[in-house]
Amino acid sequence: MSIPPQLAPAWWRTFRPAPAASVRLACFPHAGGSASFYLPLARALAPQVEVVAAQYPGRQDRYREPVVTSLAELARRCFEALRPALDRPVVLFGHSMGALLAYEVALLVQDAGLAPPAHLIASGRRAPSCYRDDRFHRLPPAQLVAHIRALRGTDASMLADPDALRLILPALRGDYRAVETYRHDPARRFPGPVTVLTGTDDPMVTADEASAWRRHASGPVDVLAMPGGHFFLADRVDEIAALVGDVAAGRHPGPPGR
């Protein structure tokens, strides 16, 4: 793993440096997730696209740091750390909680008077305006673990290991609190194109909730459904890489599985 000098090393990780790439893909992990979730995508896209992935406080090598429980504050910190790297066109990619973060970071880029991201890819997350009365961050540990196990995005052996759970649960609970207390600004819209990716069997996102991203962009919004549950993209890295390649080249994203 290498860290480009312009990126804050605590916040952004580059697993496959691509200094000649004309486009950078900034990736935001899901609740409880870490930068390494995007390693397969980085491998698939290098050297055409340089992938950088956010590493939030409270997990892996940052486990001693307090978890940021405000999504707005987490977005601000991610943006400030990413800002020096906005020296080339940037596509923002977020999965689940990361999709909301990518959206909020895009608005911060706009507020700073910088060139807007070339594209926003929102994966596995209902639109910012679609709220549910979720209270996962308040669940007892056993129920929270059962919920995470049902989503099939975390190694089952880790969920069965008490020592691993002691490291995982604080970040997971804090991230869920950030998501569940988040409220969007209805006056704001992403100024560019958006691609929404959703799993056909995702219990966290309905088709209508995915389509509602159209309320949050002034550019075109494509909604693409892929077979699978909440973590459908983990099994479709090549398809996601092809889609990102289209976006990075300025082409209209093709249908999944083409």
The identity of residue 37, as a single letter, is F
Residue of 70, 96, 129, 211 marked catalytic: 96
96 annotated active-site: yes
- With a pLDDT cut of 90, the percent of the chain lying above it is 74
User: Burial, 86: exposed, middle or buried (Cβ in 10 Å; 0-12, 13-18, 19+)?
Assistant: middle
E strand segments, the chain: 12-13, 23-28, 49-54, 90-95, 119-123, 194-199, 221-226
Domain 12-248 has CATH 3.40.50.1820: yes
Report helix, strand or coil for 122. Answer: strand
Which tokens sit at 256? Answer: 């999944």
Report helix, strand or coil for 127. Answer: coil
Measured distance CA(100)–CA(18) in Å, rounded = 26
CB 13 within 8 A of CB 61: no
Q: What is the pLDDT of residues 76-98, one digit of tens each?
A: 999 999 998 898 999 999 999 99
Q: Quick one: DSSP state of residue 217?
A: B
Measured distance CA(65)–CA(58) in Å, rounded = 5
Q: Is the pLDDT of residue 257 over 60?
A: no
- Would you say the pTM of this structure is higher than 0.85? yes
Q: Is the pLDDT of residue 226 over 60?
A: yes
- Closest of 243, 250, 245 to residue 226, by C-alpha: 243
Q: What is the pLDDT of residues 137-173, one digit of tens each?
A: 888 888 888 888 888 877 767 777 888 888 889 999 9
Measured distance CA(95)–CA(231) in Å, rounded = 9
The pLDDT assigned to 156 comes to 67
Measured distance CA(97)–CA(29) in Å, rounded = 7
Average confidence (pLDDT) over 172-196: 96
* pLDDT bucket at 6, cuts 50 / 70 / 90: low
Measured distance CA(86)–CA(81) in Å, rounded = 10
The pLDDT assigned to 230 comes to 94
Q: Is the pLDDT of residue 102 over 70?
A: yes
